[in-house]
Structure 1
Amino acid sequence: MASVWDVLTRNFTARFLYDHLLYWGIYKEQAQNVVILLLWLEMAIGMPSDIIGNAAVLRDYNRLGRIVMEADAVMRFVHDGTPLTESIAAIPAIADLCASHPGLVDYSFFRFHRGIVSRGIRSIRSGVAAVVFDETYQVLRSQYWAGLLGSMMPSQLTATAAVRVTAELEDFRSVFVSFSKGFPVSKRAIYDFFSRENIGPDYIERITTETDVLEGETPKHGLVVFYCKDRMEDAMSCKTRRLFRIDRVVMTAHKYNLVI
């Protein structure tokens, strides 16, 4: 189990982003929403570890404000189903932060994966985020780092951090899949592909693909749930992200990996 110090050290950039947002006059709840959502993206689907860092160094208040507005709307949607307005639905500022994984993160992603996202966000909010946002821990960390508390680390920092994962077991044997815009792949095609590739259709518990899409859009998200985590790792070649070509369409697969 990680100590409070470990969690604070591992998530130093997340705290830096939080303080940066507060400095720019963002309300605490909104600032926390941004940090929690970006933490989930980094942890759960292997976004580059600099996604939070890139947000933390922004000096353009308009861009920061847009990220805050989008994150706030996404978090409300995930929490209680409040739909995003048309002006926010494309979440361009958050999508831009996730540009290294083009086409994956958009409103339809959060709509389709709402259950997994909701569980992951609850875990982060009650675990890692609770430590990162704790002012007492931050003061002790700063004082100890500056040598003001002697050589002995305070017991509050060496204590085991109360972090846990709230998830369904199937979450950790699941793979997010996305398709090129305008080129959806059917469940049958995915199933047949895994059969041809000798990954084994018997490894797969179920495949779901997006059916409820916004007007003018085409399905581009799906989820493959394997019977066990080992089979999922085999299919992904133990990688966080893999590209598969199905019927001349590229399918990107992202392993769900919420490690807190």
Structure 2
Amino acid sequence: MSTMRSKVIRVWEVLDAKETAHSAYERVLARPTSLEVAKNTICLLLWLETIADVHILEDVSAMEVGGITLSRLVMEADALHNYLFHGQEALPEPLVGGIPAIKELCSSGRLVDFRFFKFHRDLVAHGLAVIRDTIAEVIFSDHLHTMLRQFEDEVHSLAPVMTSVPAPELTAPFVAIARTPPEDSRTAFVAFWEGHPLSTQDIINYFERLLGFRRCIKRVETEQPCAGQTPKHAVIVFLSAELREQVMFNETVVYYRINGYDMWVQVYKPPL
């Protein structure tokens, strides 16, 4: 009996799929920017593309090199990246006023703000680490991108001398040595209307009793905001990815109305 085998992904396929990310990386470097800051910025924006329904990196690759927008974005992204991994008690100066450039780029103020990253800090850090340990190595390789462009030029030349064959580095299998924790594939982000948070029990009762999904939720965690604020963010971890899909009616984003208040829920799709 034959068995199904998963498709082998080649390095050149990752290069091709992430060409826009490399273009954005080159644009950030052209500011000029140090290699580490540029990598931090692109890794964060790559992760954001997994939760924002916009082509963030495409916008960045078209930004004016000497423009204020790109400069502000790089400062915010690098400071946020460092906060997520090293989080000092005192916020870095670029984050004191929030992350307006990142919010504008994502067009998702409902979900993406500094409080989102503060609350989901561990989850975001996991995702960034996976990106840095896997596809980032390919995205940031000028050598690999140069080889791919040369091969594409040969293929598209009018009079090729011989059949072009990509370099072994390009046809090598892409092996991801790191993965996002399995629980992240059962996770959904939650955002409340400002001033109208819902309790953990409200959320569980709504899905498991009112909607009739029975026991489908492993846990709900709600933001503990600063004095004078009400919770704006929460996270739901379902018992399985399949149950999450059922509860979300196979949609990526769903608005639910609970006790007269709206709750915005979006599935999390880990990078790998």
TM-score calculated relative to the size of structure 1: 0.92
Aligned to 1:76: 82
Equivalent-residue separation in structure 2 for 1:36 and 1:79 (angstroms): 13
After the TM superposition, which parts of structure 1 deviate over 4 Å for at least 4 consecutive aligned residues?
Answer: none
1:249 corresponds to 2:261: yes
The Cα offsets for residues 212-231 of structure 1, whole Å up to 9 and x where unpaired, read as: x2444321111111111111
What does residue 219 of structure 1 align with? 231
Q: Distance in 2 between matches of 1:39 and 1:180?
A: 27
Change (3 A) 1:170 1:66: same
| Aligned AA (2:213) | I
* Superposed displacement of residue 208, structure 1: 0.7
Computing the radius of gyration over CA atoms, which structure comes out larger, 1 or 2? Answer: 2
Q: Which runs of 5+ in 2 are unaligned?
A: 1-7, 156-161
Matches within 5 A, 1:44-193: 45=51, 47-59=52-64, 61-82=67-88, 83-85=90-92, 88-89=95-96, 90-99=98-107, 101-147=108-154, 151-193=164-206
For 1:127, the aligned partner's letter is: T
Q: What SS does structure 1 have at the residue aligned with 2:249?
A: coil
Equivalent residue pairs, number: 255
- Give, in angstroms, the shift of residue 163 of structure 1: 2.3
* Structure 2 SS opposite 1:166: coil
Moved more, 62-71 or 235-244: 235-244
- Cα distance in 2 between the residues matched to 1:214 and 1:153: 55
Counterpart-to-counterpart distance in 2, 1:206 and 1:245? 20
Compute the TM-score of the two structures, normalised by the length of structure 2: 0.88
Q: In 1, are the aligned partners of 2:54 and 2:106 still within 8 Å (CA)? A: no
CA contact (8 A) 1:22 1:31 kept: yes
* CA RMSD of superposed structures (Å): 1.8
Mapped to 2, the partners of 1:164 and 1:197 lie a distance apart of 40
What percent of counterpart residues are identical? 33
Distance 1:229 1:37 in 2: 24
Work out whether 1:4 is the aligned partner of 2:11.
yes
Corresponding letter in the other structure for 2:184: D
Q: Distance in 2 between matches of 1:252 and 1:165?
A: 30
Greater RCO structure (CA 8 Å; 6+ sep): 1
Residue identity opposite 2:69 in structure 1: R
Query: What residue in structure 2 maps to residue 24 of structure 1?
Result: 31
* Contact kept? 1:74, 1:84, Cα under 8 Å: no
Gaps (5+ residues) in structure 1? none
